[in-house]
Structure 1
């Protein structure tokens, strides 16, 4: 499953700051339809992500009936992203197929 969307980068300040993009409702609905097949637990969905010229693997996390995408520091710095930026994202759900929660193992 390939999904492209735009979302505003926001910061959540917990014990350490984290930066996120909230998937729009239509994208979250598509992901939810695949969740049982792809999730490795806790509702986390492994994905391969692309923003600009940067690609990485991470997991979507459930939030308020949808999903949020964590944006790593190297991605923010490399793509010069700031809180409030409207970011274009492409992602693909990576079915489990033996994939461990830490991202090791087969992908797509």
Structure 2
């Protein structure tokens, strides 16, 4: 899945600057259909992500408030790609659990 998403900081952990990108709702619904019961802790789904020249493995988490999955963006990736909250990144997500 490929999409452009704005980086945002999780309000509950603002002091820690946990930064995320929301997957589009349509893609999130497709992921739910594909993974069925293959979710891990907190409903997470394992993925491989690419932003710019950076790629890594992580998990996406359901964000009930936004009705989609949230993708955490590591500090190392943000620094390598020159990204911060409010910036828009081109993101590729590959499911590892499907």
When normalised by structure 2's length, the TM-score is: 0.87
C-alpha distance 78-30 of structure 1, shift in aligned 2 (>3 A)? same
Deviations along 1:37-90, one digit per CA (max 9) or x if unpaired, are 542232100000000000000000000231000000000000000211111100
Higher relative contact order (CA 8 A, sep 6+): 2
Deviates more, 1:83-92 or 1:69-78: 83-92
Measured on the aligned residues, the alpha-carbon RMSD in Å equals 1.6
Aligned 8 A contact 1:8 1:21 in 2: yes
Task: Give the ranges of 4+ consecutive aligned residues of structure 1 lying more than 3 Å apart after TM superposition.
Answer: none
Give structure 2 stretches of 5+ with no counterpart: none
In structure 2, what is the Cα distance between the partners aligned to 1:66 and 1:37?
A: 17
Give structure 1 stretches of 5+ with no counterpart: 97-108
Aligned residues: 94
Aligned 8 A contact 1:21 1:69 in 2: yes
Q: What is aligned with 1:70?
A: 72
User: What secondary structure does 1:60 align onto?
Assistant: strand
In structure 1, what is the Cα distance between the partners aligned to 2:75 and 2:45?
A: 20
Mapping of residues 1-108 of structure 1, within 5 Å: 3-13=1-11, 14=13, 16-36=16-36, 38-64=38-64, 65-95=67-97
User: What secondary structure does 1:29 align onto?
Assistant: helix
When normalised by structure 1's length, the TM-score is: 0.79
In structure 2, what is the Cα distance between the partners aligned to 1:44 and 1:75?
A: 20
- Aligned-pair CA distance for 1:34: 1.8
